[in-house]
Structures are given as structure tokens and as C-alpha cells.
Amino acid sequence: MIFDRNEHKQVVALLGAGSMGTAIVRRIGAGKKILLGDISEETLQRVCEDFRRCGYDAETMQVNALQKESVEAFARKAAELGPVMYFIGTAGASPNQANPEHIVDLDMVGTGYAVDAFGEVMAAGGAGLIISSQAAYMYPIPNDIELQLVQTPTAKLKEVKFIQEVAMQNSGFAYMIAKRLNHLQAQRAAATSWRKRHARINTISPGVVVTPLAYDEFNANGEGYQNMIDASASRRTGTSDEIAEAAVFLLGEHAQFITGTDLLIDGGVIASIRTGQFQLQG
Ligand SMILES: NC(=O)c1ccc[n+]([C@@H]2O[C@H](COP(=O)([O-])OP(=O)(O)OC[C@H]3O[C@@H](n4cnc5c(N)ncnc54)[C@H](O)[C@@H]3O)[C@@H](O)[C@H]2O)c1
């Protein structure tokens, strides 16, 4: 049975075929060609099968977001499939999944590679979204260092003294800095490479969203997360579907004046920290 005979479809590329990414693509992928990228072949096969069974036109490519060449090949493949209208970047590791250097390499540098590579292939009118984190709001990087970082090419980020020091500290700190860098990477792209292609790019910074990645955090620091959630205005965790609803807006036609910005969706955690209702430990 052939579900869709249309050719020349617009392309949706997802790097990191996990919970949030697939929830987003499910909402925007109907009638489009979906290219799923992930390091895990097993994840790719499972997710692709799910999409196909639900009537989506999906295919996969194994990608290692740590490797520039691999990410560039993914972007080229997306462009070969048709006009790339959407790019969603979610590949990442959380503090309890990886050491600080890996977090710098994946969440920071790897995301930079993806933003750069898709900045070469996006179709005019297209839109991108990077999943950052509420952690981006937890440590203010001094302005002069932020300016230096936003002006540093992705491949040279690890030559910056500040980043070298971050990679030697703990994973939680590396995660905060890496996720803040995602905001800066989207801002830079919005103002330069993506702008040139008449494409928009934004970030979403989710709070605690129950996914396999979040379970690794709960298992390592359940009490800390419980206290954070309890002190927040919403008093609950979030779901991938709630993040995806906001993603649909940011990627869609009603958000055409929105580029280079971040949307914090955290149930009020950062508000409780900023107002002294909750103190971060460590
Ligand atoms: N779940 C949360 O509470 C939460 C909160 C804030 C931010 N985030 C961020 O959201 C993003 C998505 O997280 P999620 O909760 O959907 O997790 P997830 O584990 O479901 O998805 C992450 C995906 O990234 C893939 N990945 C890991 N390393 C990779 C690599 N080197 N190359 C390619 N793919 C790779 C994994 O295989 C996985 O499929 C992550 O960047 C995470 O840091 C998550």
C-alpha cells in the first residue's frame, strides 16, 4: 500500500531522535519527507518504524553529532531529499549521562556543527529549533566572555580558555554553559548564515521534562530534582508534548517575526530561583 504518492516534498530534519524531537516532528511532519538522525541505529529503526506505521514518510541516517563531517553529511543528505524547511536539533547528553568534556563536545560544539551545517542548506522561509535547557539560565556568563564566545567559530570553541576551564569542572556546570551557548549559537546564526538564507532559528529551554534522559537525572539526584519541582509555580514536571506545542508555534508561520530568541518552558523553576524561593545546591 502506498500512502503518499507526492514527490518533491519539503524536508524535516531531526538530529537526535529522542522523546522531545519525535514529539515535535509528529506535529509538523505530515505530508513532508522526514529525515531522522541519531547515533543509535536501534533508536532510528524503532522511531522510523513508528512514524511509518502512522502514515509519515520517514527515513534514517546514522549521525554522530560529535563529528563535524557526520553532521555535514546529514545536512547534505537532507538537502538532497528536497527543500529543507525545518531543522530540529535535540542531540544531547545530560549531566548525569556524561563527563564535562563530553557535554562540551556534544551539547555545545556538536550543536554548533549542526547549526552551521544547516545554515548552508536551509530553504528560504524555513525554520530551525534547538533544544537547550533551563540550565542555560542558571549561571550568568560575564558579558565580555559571551561576546568572545559568540564571535568564536565552532571549531575553535575549545581553544577558548573559559571553555577549557569549563570542561575541567563538573558535568552540571558544563551543561549550564553548553546550553547557554546554544542560545548564542542560534543568535549568531539568526543574524548571519541563516539570515542570508531567509531562514529563522530559535531555541527552547525546557525545564524538567519526563524522558529517558530525565530518568537518568532522577536516578542520580532524585531529591534535588524533587525539591526543584516542588518549589516551582507549576509543582510538576513537564511532558515532551508540551514542549512540542510551543515548538510548532516557533517553527510555524505565525512566528515569522521571531528569530534568534529563546523560549523558557520550565513550569516556573527559573522564576523560583531568581526570586530566592529556591536555592540551587552545589
Ligand atoms: N528531558 C529533560 O528534562 C530535558 C530538559 C532540558 C533540556 N533537555 C535537552 O533536550 C534534548 C533532548 O532530550 P530528551 O529528553 O528528548 O532526551 P532523549 O534521550 O530522548 O533524546 C536525546 C537523543 O540524542 C541522541 N544522541 C546522543 N548522543 C548523540 C550523538 N553523539 N549523535 C547523535 N545523536 C545523539 C540520543 O541517542 C537520543 O536519541 C537534549 O539536548 C537535552 O539536554 C532535556
Which range of residues forms the domain containing residue 175?
11-271
Q: What is the pLDDT of residues 146-198, one digit of tens each?
A: 999 999 999 999 999 999 998 899 999 999 999 999 999 999 999 999 999 99
**Position 276 in a domain:** no
Task: Identify which of 109, 211, 234 to mutate to test ligand 1's pocket (most ligand atoms within 8 A of the CB).
Answer: 211
Active site residue: 179, 196, 215, 225, which one?
Answer: 179
Q: In what order do the strands lie in the sheet with 262-265?
A: 57-62, 33-38, 11-15, 84-89, 122-131, 200-206, 262-265
Active site residue: 139, 161, 175, 225, which one?
Answer: 175
**Position 129 in a domain:** yes
State the average pLDDT over residues 239-263.
98
**Position 6 in a domain:** no
**Position 56 in a domain:** yes
175 is catalytic: yes
**Position 280 in a domain:** no
Domain total of the chain: 1
Residue with cell 511532519: 29
**Position 51 in a domain:** yes
**Position 103 in a domain:** yes
* CATH number for 148: 3.40.50.720
Q: Is 220 helix (H, G, I), strand (E, B) or coil?
A: helix
Burial of 1 (0-12, 13-18, 19+ CB in 10 A): exposed
**Position 98 in a domain:** yes
Task: Identify which of 26, 90, 240 to mutate to test ligand 1's pocket (most ligand atoms within 8 A of the CB).
Answer: 90
Q: pTM of this prediction?
A: 0.97
